[in-house]
Amino acid sequence: MLGPTFFANFFQATNVIPNIVYEVLAGPVLALVVVPAVVRAFESVGPERARELVRALSGFLLMASGIAAALLVALSPWIADLLTRGVPEGAVRERAAHLTMLLVLFVAPQIVLYTIAFLGAAAQQARSRFALSTLAPTVENVGLTATLVTAAVVYGRGLEVDAVPVGMVVLLGVGSTLSVALHAAVQVVGAARVGLLTLPSLQWTHDPEARALVRYLVRSVRVAAFPAIGVLGLLALAVTVPGGVLVLQMAIYVYNFPVSVGARAVSIAVLPGLSDAARRLDRAAFAASTRQAIVYGLVAGFAALSLLVGLGDPVAFLLAQGELRGTDLVGVLALCVAIVGVAQLVGGLHEVARQALFARSDLDGPRRASAAALVATAVTGLIAIAMPSPESRMAVLCLALLARDLTGAAMLVRRLGRAVRPETILDRRRLAAAALAVTPALPIGLLGTAVIETVAPGRIFTALLLAGFGALVLVAYGGTFLLAGRARVRWTR
């Protein structure tokens, strides 16, 4: 909606900073720590003890997120300077910095709101309630889209820094923060439905179990912080390309969706069982649950790979909005969609392996993998700086996501495999069937791309053709997976 402009870069980058700061504080680690603890409290003592634990952890996390929000406001001049480095010196850059600082003031409360939202989601997951916690972020996305559409209608599209009115910045900042507030409200309702809605308390220092969990969270910060810092660094590099942050953000959204509904959802669902098996020192049960989670996550990941690699061009065409559609960045976005189609498969494996190690209270492995992944991200980012054209720079920045996940997943899977020996964590028969199923599915997707590009329809007809060919890809993938699995069973017999 905002077009391939430097202002679009500032808004996209600034709007994701609260989420990145939240991930630095706790992020995905929150569920890995809170869910097993609440499950243990329910099973060993009862619901009242579980509420006490949630109350104590909520008090600590809301205090930490409030301090982080205040620090974000205090650091807004430095953030504005970082995000406006790609703008030529002069009055335009000075105005860009002022607008960015103003936007930071409006989005800083999102850190607290994200903490509330994810505490509510963790409470639901601890009681094996996943539907509402998974769908709640959609409310935020709808609110943000409505905010962008309103801004485009009221103030126009494609405005550059020197033409953007202050009222537009206020509208974008307030609208995006209200969208996060709606997300948090839905998660709070979900926590109330499972009986874990409680007022936060600062008495966590008097609860030995809560103190131990707080210490564990603090020690886990590096696991969540390094990936978040890596993404922030990539966004800072993308600022140097007009519209680059928008392209990178779209690629990250495409990456996150299959990981969230596939591997992450699966790993969260099996986390209570993994924690229980680890507590009982039942290595066979732990390995069996891990194998199941990896299979389900990668089966979903291979299906998403077939869709995103095969149909990357029409997906990019539909994602491109306004003036972005008429630029060379659409082709770069299509390439990035294909790259993250591969990256999400590896990222899903990374997600499941990390969750399994956390269930074993193994913090050292995820911390080392997180540090190595950050190094891989930084090295790839430095390579991107050396690229001669904006398009090649953006493509390498998207490759940084793949490099990060390959590095982290390799280390985590190796460590997890050693931890469960002589059991195995990979069901090679079913994983081979899933990989084989890509063989007929991917060409169908590529054929769909060729047909859509030949016909060159409008957006509505493109969406219909994309849906049709996407369905064919999934049918081919699913059918081949089932047939390959049955054939391997008969052959082994």
* The predicted structure's pLDDT at residue 294: 92
The predicted model scores a pTM of 0.75
Crossing angle for the helix pair 208-238 and 364-385, to the nearest 10 degrees: 10
Q: What is the pLDDT of residue 453?
A: 86
Please report the pLDDT score of residue 322 as a whole number: 56
Measuring CA to CA, which residue among 487, 380, 388, 480 is closest to residue 437? 480
What pLDDT, on the 0 to 100 scale, is given for residue 470? Answer: 94
Q: What is the pLDDT of residue 344?
A: 94
What's the pLDDT at 239?
Answer: 79
pLDDT tens by residue, the chain, 493 residues: 555 566 777 777 787 888 878 877 766 666 667 777 777 777 777 778 888 888 888 888 889 899 999 999 998 888 888 777 666 666 677 888 888 888 889 999 999 999 899 888 888 877 777 778 878 888 998 998 899 889 888 888 777 777 788 888 899 999 999 999 999 999 999 988 888 777 888 777 788 888 887 887 777 778 878 888 898 889 888 877 877 888 888 899 899 888 887 887 787 777 777 877 887 888 898 999 899 899 999 999 999 999 999 999 999 888 876 555 656 678 888 999 999 999 999 999 998 998 888 888 788 899 999 999 999 999 999 999 889 888 899 999 999 999 999 999 999 999 999 988 889 999 888 999 999 999 999 999 999 999 988 887 677 888 889 999 999 999 999 999 988 866 554 444 4
